[in-house]
Structure 1
């Protein structure tokens, strides 16, 4: 799933306010976060290569505690080095909240990873599938017996990091342009070259050569330019489409390509110009309503432009999550984006985050990535789709600790 980390809160007054976060409260707003859908095959193919690197330390040999579980009496293995982190072995008793987590809620995400397993997991995936309907006690016992927990920290020994959250927006759309719906989402034009910059956002909207190249590439039309900007930032979204015959259906607009220009935050620009103190999506929308002659000036500050592809969804069912960088559907509340140079895709991770809004102690799966999700202890928590998920994601910007669970 391709997107920048710009959580927003949703208000009824503005459909454009799907993922809201004030710049002062959530400083990562201007960092940007984009997933390269075009590179998915290369990313998935590199799963094994970034999994385990040379050992840093000799295995430690602690004395078993008479009160420790049997699994905690085993000698600890060696530290594992990753490109951007080191994994320090710990006992299961060091993981906070493990006994309280509803592990069955994490199993669907684990099964998704097993559909594209890296080599270290291929041998264990049959057991993981068999345990899908097992009790939490059986699942917990299997995890303890077959996996080893490692505290994830930087090479300098820093084990504290940052957790943010993201989501998939959902908007109303029309298949054809009509009154109130005239902001197009485009499929990629022909003639684009990967890694070669195409027209900027401003050029796409003002130059005849760009507009001619996009003629006939319109997929759907949105009502609000901010809605379109949010989809361009998130890189994927659900749209409730009104077809020419009046029927309605839900589609996913998924990332297909970009114009290969860097992402620039319009909220950051408004703050830097002293035009806003609240750079949330409602704040931005309010500024646009009060300054209609400057809307294009604002939007053109972000030269990056995203092209989409249409994904049909199963009728009458809850739409599956968008695909992350591991190329498997994300699971709300159980998938995270990480720096793949710190934690390989498909790795189960114990996540602990305590903040003013929410406390999370739970098993999640490393299934996605993003350009702003960089560092040893850094994660972006997938909250799901729609308004409630957007409001939840908009509250998350807090401390984080991670433990990677790896086959013994």
Structure 2
């Protein structure tokens, strides 16, 4: 969602990026994914210019056949055409735009025709990362979601937690050793300098800073923990007392690197074992006096745009500029994979301790979003939907996986 969403690198899907070590998968886990079967002749021919335009320099493409894609015949294509047609509403590379024009005649309610069209117009190429011996074809697959929160446009109890819009004094800054890319102009020894923008801890400890940022508040929430989850995800819906819905979208950050509060809970011994969104919320409810310290462990602050939304069911807007489709949209590293590109994703269902073994998750998805922690060729964040159930699903999703780019054969 053009968001920070600094990754769901833990069991909290982006909520706790890199927060805790996931449960050890059983022997049948996709951590030991079977090798891709050898392609059957002839290999699909895709013009070199098309591959160069749709993938980045760190990507190696291995030719494949449809039969090489795990689970390709079993995908029921639910939501595929919606996501694909949304793709086509964006500004796409010319090769994809040409396919979109030919797709206009395909019925929206005919999965068989849609599958036949995809097979005729695209060829699968397995995505591998260069420079990573023995692991170049596998990467981390995580999940993210859109939270639904409660708030008010005015500060009135219990809505006292501000969500800030982009402050006027935030300027770009070349990050130094501190890694901070957000800056503020200040006078130092009679000269103007660009200093790092305020961290979360600095803001929390300075009432004057808080008051200055409060002038840019776009909505007031009733929970500091909900505000944390919103900042990690990078977008959300807010139900207002009037019954209206406010949609929040990413506007920028203070430029500080993201630090996981889940990691902080583990490192400080406050929580042991697996960290989930529910565990963070429960801990915060039991230790309200320590919540500011927990929040300050993450120096990054995310700023938001806000607009009244007349269609909360449409999904948040991704970096491609189109609404995301649950379980069909992914965030990628756009330096490696062009936004708008169809991708075959092969990983496992979100972890469930009640299941005897992880179940496969194979589906056609579309690169429609980005995330600051989504880096590399074989790396994706699957959008699981809107609301608490989607959040729990995203929070349990962290498995290795493989990816195939579907490149146009007739650009």
Same fold (TM over 0.5): yes
Tell me, yes or no, if structure 1 residue 24 matches structure 2 residue 21: yes
Q: What is the deviation of 1:335?
A: 0.4
Q: Report if aligned partners of 1:8, 1:393 keep a CA contact under 8 Å in 2.
A: no
Task: Provide the residue aligned with 2:325 in structure 1.
Answer: 331
Q: Distance in 1 between matches of 2:145 and 2:338?
A: 22
Q: Residues 63 and 312 (structure 1 numbering): CA distance in 2 closer, same or farther, change over 3 Å?
A: closer
Query: Which gives a bigger RCO, structure 1 or 2 (Cα 8 Å, sep 6+)?
Result: 2
Task: Provide the residue aligned with 2:84 in structure 1.
Answer: 110
Q: Report if aligned partners of 2:75, 2:362 keep a CA contact under 8 Å in 1.
A: yes
How many aligned positions are there?
Answer: 355
Task: Provide the residue aligned with 2:263 in structure 1.
Answer: 268
Q: Residues 161 and 75 (structure 1 numbering): CA distance in 2 closer, same or farther, change over 3 Å?
A: closer
From 265, 284, 290, the equivalent of 1:294 is 290
Gaps of 5+ in 2: 25-38, 174-182, 184-195, 350-356
Q: Distance in 2 between matches of 1:85 and 1:104?
A: 29
Q: Distance in 2 between matches of 1:193 and 1:26?
A: 41
Task: Provide the residue aligned with 1:387 in structure 2.
Answer: 388
Q: Report if aligned partners of 1:5, 1:372 keep a CA contact under 8 Å in 2.
A: yes
Q: Deviations over 1:89-135 (max 9, x none)?
A: 11222122222222352111111221221122121211123225262
Q: Report if aligned partners of 2:329, 2:368 keep a CA contact under 8 Å in 1.
A: yes
From 310, 326, 334, the equivalent of 1:340 is 334
Gaps of 5+ in 1: 11-16, 28-61, 65-72
Q: What is the deviation of 1:174?
A: 2.0
Task: Provide the residue aligned with 1:249 in structure 2.
Answer: 244
Q: Deviations over 1:44-83 (max 9, x none)?
A: xxxxxxxxxxxxxxxxxx885xxxxxxxx56655885732
SS state at 1:141 partner: helix
TM-score by length of 1: 0.79
Q: Residues 130 and 207 (structure 1 numbering): CA distance in 2 closer, same or farther, change over 3 Å?
A: same
Q: Report if aligned partners of 1:232, 1:305 keep a CA contact under 8 Å in 2.
A: yes
Q: Report if aligned partners of 1:335, 1:364 keep a CA contact under 8 Å in 2.
A: yes
Task: Provide the residue aligned with 2:7 in structure 1.
Answer: 5
Task: Provide the residue aligned with 2:72 in structure 1.
Answer: 98
TM-score by length of 2: 0.78
Aligned residue runs from structure 1 range 358-373, under 5 A: 358-373=359-374
Q: Report if aligned partners of 1:199, 1:259 keep a CA contact under 8 Å in 2.
A: yes
97-106 or 268-277, larger mean C-alpha shift: 97-106
Q: Report if aligned partners of 2:346, 2:402 keep a CA contact under 8 Å in 1.
A: yes
Q: Report if aligned partners of 1:18, 1:390 keep a CA contact under 8 Å in 2.
A: no
Q: What is the deviation of 1:338?
A: 1.4
Aligned residue runs from structure 1 range 149-298, under 5 A: 149-155=124-130, 156=133, 158-195=136-173, 196=183, 197-242=196-241, 247-277=242-272, 278-298=274-294
Q: Which runs of 4+ in 1 moved over 4 A?
A: 7-10, 17-22, 73-81, 355-358
Alignment root-mean-square deviation, CA: 2.9
Q: Distance in 1 between matches of 2:317 and 2:23?
A: 26
SS state at 1:319 partner: helix
Q: What is the deviation of 1:19?
A: 5.4
Q: Distance in 1 between matches of 2:388 and 2:40?
A: 51
Q: Distance in 1 between matches of 2:211 and 2:157?
A: 23
Tell me, yes or no, if structure 1 residue 308 matches structure 2 residue 299: no
Q: What is the deviation of 1:405?
A: 0.6
Task: Provide the residue aligned with 1:354 in structure 2.
Answer: 348
Task: Provide the residue aligned with 2:103 in structure 1.
Answer: 128
Q: Deviations over 1:296-354 (max 9, x none)?
A: 2221111111111112212xx44322122222221111001112232211110111113
SS state at 2:314 partner: coil
Q: Residues 292 and 139 (structure 1 numbering): CA distance in 2 closer, same or farther, change over 3 Å?
A: closer
SS state at 1:131 partner: coil
SS state at 1:299 partner: helix
SS state at 1:124 partner: helix
